[in-house]
Amino acid sequence: MDQIARASDDNLLEEIVRLKDELRKSDRRVADVVLENPEGVVSMTLATLSKTAGVSEPTVIRFCSAIGCEGFRDMRVKLARSLAFARSTSHTAITGADELATIVTKVFDYNLSNLNWAQGKLDIASVDRAVAVLASAARIEFFGFGASGIVALDAQQKFPLFGVPCGAPLDSHQMFMTADMLKPGDVAVAISNTGHTREVVACMKAAQDRGAKTIGITGQAGSPLLAHCDVGLVVETLENTDLYTPTVSRLSHLVVIDILSTAVSLQKGAGHHDRIARMKDGLARIRSDVE
């Protein structure tokens, strides 16, 4: 809980951006002032902010509560912390006028901010259930399109850590045929940030109908994908569709795959660990010029 609260505190500006469309019209006026001049709001009094936004003081208090703060003072403290964190989406938007050094800084900051956010929102209990399912799998198939297909291929490359055969078909027909041929004891893992990709959802339904266990990695709670998953991992990200903004969901999903593969490997016995060590030793010899 503390970890989740800290992530929200550090990213209050992102939280306001996310909640803005759901706020009352008068509350959105306060949100606009905060987003346009967060540094100034940190030093404002309640009366000054209400006057600047053109709303009543009770409306400002209501706005603070709506964004998860315990009053006006708590909002200012969290806003100052968010500014100190200095990695909010509003501060890392890339423009055509940015110099290369600025772009480098913004891309790093945006990705680091996103990973911090995703970590704070990730449900550890769901991760634990996914690890248990994967650790007992006889075979694992990963499904994803586009950027999610890249994550699926990365997962397939980590099959030594999972300790069982893994696949990652990318063609839609091959994906469905693979999913439809799964059986009890097998596991299907779908990666889809939106959770609405029709072909991926169809694969999860087919796999589940055939008795395989299904795991969904998505950024959208309540998405169609999760309706066909025994375990859902909601990896909430700061994905932004601005022209130059990097695709941060892909990086977060790659990290989740690393977590799953590592945790599964640690649950395997000593024999598995010995095989991993032997494999890595063999790889080191292949990469070396020395026989």
pLDDT by residue (tens digit) across 136-151?
Answer: 999 999 999 998 999 9
pLDDT, average across residues 107-115: 82
The whole-number pLDDT of residue 144 equals 96
Q: Which two tokens stand for residue 205?
A: 């339904």
Name the pLDDT band for 245 (thresholds 50, 70, 90). Answer: low
CA distance 168 to 156: 6
Confidence of residue 84 (pLDDT cuts 50, 70, 90): low
Which pLDDT score is estimated for 24?
94
Long-range interactions of 58-67: CB distance < 8 A, separation 24+: 59/26, 59/27, 59/30, 60/30, 62/24, 62/27, 63/23, 63/27, 63/30, 63/31, 66/19, 66/23, 66/24, 66/27, 67/12, 67/15, 67/16, 67/19, 67/31
Looking at residues 64-68, what average pLDDT do you find?
94
What pLDDT, on the 0 to 100 scale, is given for residue 2? 44
Vertex 216 angle, CA 273 and 198, to 5°: 135
What pLDDT does 291 receive? 53
- pLDDT over 90 for what percent of the chain? 66
Tell me which residue of 131, 154, 165, 175 sits closest to 252, measured CA to CA: 154
Q: For tokens 């509003």, name the residue.
A: 90
Q: Each residue of 94-110: pLDDT tens digit?
A: 778 889 998 888 888 88
Q: Report the predicted TM-score, pTM, of the whole model to 2 decimal places.
A: 0.71
Confidence class for position 33, pLDDT limits 50, 70, 90: very high
Mean pLDDT, the chain, integer: 88
pLDDT at 7: 45
